[in-house]
Amino acid sequence: MVLVYAENQDGKIKKSAHEIVTFGYKTAQSMGTECVALVIGNVVDAASLGKYGASKVIQVNSSQLESFDSQAYAQAISEVAGQVGAKLVVLTHNYSGKALLGRLGVKLNAGVVSGVIQLPETEGGNFKVRKVVFSGKAFAEYEINSDIKVISLAGNSLKPEIVAEDVEVSNLELSINDRKVEVIEVNIQAGDVAPLPEAELVVSAGRGMKGPENWNIIEELARELGATTACSRPVSDSGWRPHHEHVGQTGIAIKPNLYIAAGISGAIQHLAGVSSSKCIVVINKDPEAPFFKAADYGVCADLFDVVPKLTESLKKAKA
Amino acid sequence: MKILVCISKTPETTAKIAFTDNNTALDPNGVQFILNPYDEWFALVRALELKEELGGTVTVINVGPASNDVIIRKALAIGADEAIRVDAEATGARFVADQVANYAKGNDYDLILTGKETIDYNGSEVGSMIAELLELPFQSFARELTMEGDNVIITREIEGGTEKSKSQLPLVVSAAKGMAEQRIPNMRGIMMAKRKPLNVIPAVESSDGTKLSTYSLPAEKSSVKMIDPENMDELVRLLKEEAKVI
């Protein structure tokens, strides 16, 4: 059995959960088994995970699970893994997935690989996965040879596919040990677009913007595209943009379908965080900017001219 | 307060990566190795600040061969009181976590700190494994850590924002940017580091369940297509029809 932990935000299934259920379903097929999805807390659209290939959804509740705690959540997931006889547990490679992965590896005595980027090779009973290493500079292939395996899937690694219908949701009340972490407050600054690691389209800007007061042109372009905004390290270090927008080696690594970089020169540490993007557009007035070498499309001109023009052209194309 | 900081050795951030032995090992030629920045700048420095504020000791632990002593001495020069080196190649996250947990067991640390990840394997696995092995709570990607009486107040990164929480000691924490500012070792620190204890201990058995089969480098990008800045309609067309990303 493949067990997928499908995350929710405020009681609604996250987009990343559609991805990992699709991943779990396809992997289960190649292993000749089924995919069960696990949700924690009351999730209004839990049944919809059936559409992406879950043969069953288990909804777990406990007073100890009302907010995230790696100890309590790992206990819940490993208990369900035991109940369904999971040979593979799949998590999302995000903040909570990263906090859970190692714990589950220890609990289930399982080999662990984080940040898997494509479906595993399962021929001949082997289990091979691929991940990005050296901060985006290389790939590594791992064989997991333990009986139970735990992996996390990097965001935007495969397209969710609808393959079936809603399924039955069974409720499970678990008795979870008293948690030792108490959440005091949660502060979400991102708007209603997809958060960065999940975003398919990203508009990013750097020091070439000259100051935070000029960001409206970036926000307008992002709004037109339905993209998430990001920034380079000097920008978040100077406090021009919030820290959670910082992509690169010391920020977060992303792999969107489209990454538009305006006024970012493309230092190796920045490239490390974005080089897995499918398509990169670089807008920079310096023809020597190293980022052009990593780009698919380049525009060598002043971003204050080009960005509004690009927004206009997108509007025109939509009309 | 008794603090254990896990430190790791990684290639320097701008290092050019190449492989050897049929793409099964990193080619160390021309690569400079450093103390993993997240371990050094954030975990170690915050541990030293807590010690300065509240008293106590800071121990650093590394899993690796004798050639790692260079980076261990650097951690001592920055201000750690003593160091432990587990004398074995760090073959994977579980191996390292087993070594750290084995050492920490019975030594009653109040706080075990790691960096949020290493910049080579980017796994973020060791902290969470240590916490589970020692049956301790774990707070990951912490940007702020302060003590309020017996409680640890932590602000950590979550998707699109932050979360503030209260935990009790003992606790395992992985440190992210914001926790502290980098400290450069001074001459006195470097001299003192030579006399600080660096104890070498043997490794315990561990089974990882994973095996690296091969490394590869990303395919070279075909050369960039330059677009006329006056013709953004063309860029939109290419994004739609050629790249098919919008």
pLDDT band of B203, cuts 50, 70, 90: very high
Of A103, A141, A293, the CB nearest to B128: A103
A8-60: pLDDT as tens digits: 999 999 989 999 999 999 999 999 999 999 999 999 999 999 999 999 999 99
- Give A145 to chain B, closest Cα distance, Å: 5
pLDDT at A191: 67
Give the CA dihedral A191, A196, A201, A203, nearest 10 degrees: 80
Q: Tell the burial category of B1 from Cβ atoms under 10 Å away from its Cβ (0-12, 13-18, 19+).
A: middle
pLDDT at A75: 98
Distance CA B128, CA B120 (A): 18
Which neighbouring-strand residues pair with B113? B5, B173
Q: Are B213 and A189 in contact (CB < 8 Å)?
A: no
Q: Please check the confidence at residue A319 and state whether its pLDDT lies above 90.
A: no
- Give A198 to chain B, closest Cα distance, Å: 9
Of B129, B132, B165, the CB nearest to A182: B165
Q: Tell the burial category of A56 from Cβ atoms under 10 Å away from its Cβ (0-12, 13-18, 19+).
A: middle
Of B129, B139, B239, the CB nearest to A106: B129
Q: Please check the confidence at residue B56 and state whether its pLDDT lies above 90.
A: yes
A262-286: pLDDT as tens digits: 999 999 889 988 988 999 999 999 9
| Residue that has been written with the tokens 């990454």 in this structure | A259
What are the angstrom distances between the C-alpha of B212 and each of A175, B20, B65? 38, 14, 20
Q: What is the 3-state secondary structure (H, E, C) of A110-130?
A: CEEEEEECCCCECHHHCCEEE
Kindly provide the ipTM of the predicted complex, given to two decimals: 0.94
Which neighbouring-strand residues pair with B111? B3, B171
Beta strands in chain A (DSSP E): 2-5, 8-9, 12-13, 35-40, 56-61, 88-92, 111-116, 128-133, 138-144, 149-153, 169-173, 181-188, 201-205, 228-231, 258-262, 279-283, 297-299
pLDDT at B48: 98
Asked which of A84-98, A188-202, B66-80, B158-172 is least confident by mean pLDDT, the reply is: A188-202
Q: Are B126 and A189 in contact (CB < 8 Å)?
A: no
Q: For chain B, report the end-to-end CA distance as a whole number of angstroms.
A: 54
Average pLDDT value for chain A: 95
pLDDT band of B160, cuts 50, 70, 90: confident
- Give A55 to chain B, closest Cα distance, Å: 28
Residue/partner pairs of B164-169 with CB below 8 Å, 24 or more apart: B164/A183, B164/A184, B164/A185, B164/A186, B164/A187, B165/A181, B165/A182, B165/A183, B165/A184, B165/B139, B166/A181, B166/A182, B166/A184, B167/A180, B167/A181, B167/A182, B167/B137, B167/B139, B168/A180, B168/B137, B169/B110, B169/B111
Rounded mean pLDDT of B149-170? Answer: 93
Q: Are A105 and B226 in contact (CB < 8 Å)?
A: no
Rounded mean pLDDT of B4-21? Answer: 93
Q: Are B153 and A184 in contact (CB < 8 Å)?
A: yes
Distance CA A136, CA A280 (A): 15
Tell me the count of A-B CB pairs closer than 8 A: 270
Rounded mean pLDDT of A192-205? Answer: 87
pLDDT at A81: 98
Rounded mean pLDDT of A282-304? Answer: 97
Between the ranges A194-198, A272-276, B129-133, where is the mean pLDDT highest? B129-133
Closest by alpha carbon to B43, among B137, B178, B188?
Answer: B178
Q: Are A317 and B233 in contact (CB < 8 Å)?
A: yes
Give the CA dihedral A206, A208, A212, A214, nearest 10 degrees: -120
Q: Model-level pTM?
A: 0.92
pLDDT at A107: 98
- Give B197 to chain A, closest Cα distance, Å: 31
Of A107, A114, A190, the CB nearest to B161: A190
pLDDT at A309: 97
B61-117: pLDDT as tens digits: 999 999 999 999 999 999 999 999 999 999 999 999 999 999 999 899 999 999 999
Rounded mean pLDDT of B14-19? Answer: 90
pLDDT band of A190, cuts 50, 70, 90: low
Q: Please check the confidence at residue B2 and state whether its pLDDT lies above 70.
A: yes
Q: Are A103 and B236 in contact (CB < 8 Å)?
A: no
For residue B124, the chain A residues in CB contact (below 8 A) are: 98, 101-102, 114
pLDDT at B222: 80
| Degrees, nearest 5: CA angle A193-A199-A205 | 85
pLDDT at A189: 75
Closest by alpha carbon to B129, among A74, A307, A230, A32?
Answer: A74
CA-based nearest residue in chain B for residue A96: B158
For residue B212, the chain A residues in CB contact (below 8 A) are: 140-143
Q: Please check the confidence at residue A192 and state whether its pLDDT lies above 90.
A: no
Helix (H) / strand (E) containing B141: strand B138-148
For residue B215, the chain A residues in CB contact (below 8 A) are: 133, 138-141
Rounded mean pLDDT of A289-312? Answer: 97
CA-based nearest residue in chain A for residue B225: A297
A219-265: pLDDT as tens digits: 999 999 999 999 999 999 999 998 889 999 878 889 999 999 999 99
Q: Please check the confidence at residue B130 and state whether its pLDDT lies above 90.
A: yes
Average pLDDT value for chain B: 95
Q: Tell the burial category of B241 from Cβ atoms under 10 Å away from its Cβ (0-12, 13-18, 19+).
A: exposed
Distance CA B216, CA A139 (A): 5
pLDDT band of A318, cuts 50, 70, 90: confident
pLDDT band of A161, cuts 50, 70, 90: very high
- B155's tokens: 């602000």
For residue B152, the chain A residues in CB contact (below 8 A) are: none
Q: Are A181 and B137 in contact (CB < 8 Å)?
A: yes
